[in-house]
């Protein structure tokens, strides 16, 4: 007998979707903080979408009350799979190295179609304060946000956008540009705390200049595949 599709749990209010790839170093701590912040009611769910990790990322995620699904590598593909698996009315896409603010749930329940959070970087370098301020100013003015700002979509609205474009990089920029054509985003008051590891590893100024250059290149039409090779020059382990 053919197995019927599993029924969707319509009681779930928010689905938190986390794309991961070789995140074992910090995933346990990130998931601990996340589960401590979940409201008792109404129900929320956490879906971890693995892109082929070769460390023990999956084993760590399985220690928590979350669903773990496997996908081909690439944030867009992973998040789109997570959205198809999601039961929630609202989809909240969260990077593995990001932390939601206190009372985040009361913020996202105000979202009618889509929205995002401001960002705060966890490093102490004084230039990071300028960077996070510039990111928040730019996203508020342009209505275009990046994935580490905790993008949120009502599920019907996300499906109306046909999910994230299937590109290797700039999928967050692409989907928010599509979304802003339809409606203005809700911008939360409290920021998501996210890792500054890439800035610190490769140099703050060098990383900022590279990101600006990549966004300009994307704006003038250079292929995301080519930009991906520039941003991750070494190997697939740099995909995150």
pLDDT tens per residue, range 165-210: 988 778 999 999 999 999 999 999 999 999 887 767 766 776 766 6
For all residues of the chain together, what is the average pLDDT?
A: 86
Comparing 123 with 82, the larger pLDDT belongs to 82
Contact 161, 179 (CB under 8 A): yes
- Token pair listed for 125: 């370098």
Cis peptide bond prior to 136, omega within 30° of 0: no
pLDDT of residue 100: 97
| Bridge partners of residue 49, in order along the sequence | 19, 69
Give the torsion sign (CA, 143, 147, 148, 152): positive
Angle at 77 between CA 19 and CA 155, to 5 degrees: 80
For range 109-123, the mean pLDDT: 94
- State what percent of residues in the chain have pLDDT above 70: 78
CATH of 12-235, one of 3.40.50.300, 3.40.1650.10, 2.60.120.10, 3.90.550.10: 3.90.550.10
What pTM did the predictor assign? 0.84
Q: Cα 17 from chain centroid? A: 8
Comparing 157 with 217, the larger pLDDT belongs to 157
Any idea which residue has 């990383």 for tokens? Answer: 207
Report d(CA 195, CA 98) in Å as an integer: 6
- How big is the chain by its Cα radius of gyration, in Å? 17
pLDDT tens per residue, range 59-85: 999 999 999 999 998 899 999 999 999
Q: What are the boundaries of each domain within the chain?
A: 12-235
- State what percent of residues in the chain have pLDDT above 90: 65
């Amino acid at each position: 007998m053919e197995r019927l599709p599993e029924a969707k749990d319509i009681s779930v209010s928010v689905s938190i979707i986390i794309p991961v790839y070789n995140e074992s170093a910090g995933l346990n701590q990130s998931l601990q903080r996340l589960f401590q912040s979940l409201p008792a009611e109404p129900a929320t769910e956490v879906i971890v979408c693995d892109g082929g990790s070769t460390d023990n990322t999956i084993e760590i995620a399985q220690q928590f009350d979350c669903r773990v699904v496997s996908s081909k590598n690439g944030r867009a593909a992973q998040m789109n799979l997570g959205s198809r698996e999601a039961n929630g009315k609202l989809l909240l896409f969260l990077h593995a190295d990001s932390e939601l603010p206190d009372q985040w749930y009361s913020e996202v329940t105000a979202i009618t179609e889509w929205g995002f959070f401001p960002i705060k970087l966890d490093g102490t370098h004084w230039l990071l304060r300028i960077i996070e301020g510039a990111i928040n100013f730019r996203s508020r003015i342009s209505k275009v946000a990046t994935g580490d700002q905790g993008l949120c979509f009502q599920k019907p609205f996300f499906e109306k956008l046909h999910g994230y474009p299937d590109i290797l990089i700039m999928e967050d920029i692409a989907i928010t540009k599509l979304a802003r054509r339809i409606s203005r985003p809700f911008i939360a008051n409290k920021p998501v705390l996210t890792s500054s590891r890439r800035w610190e590893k490769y140099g703050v100024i060098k990383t900022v200049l590279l990101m600006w250059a990549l966004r300009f290149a994307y704006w003038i039409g250079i292929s995301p595949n080519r930009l991906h090779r520039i941003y991750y020059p070494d190997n697939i382990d740099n995909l995150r």
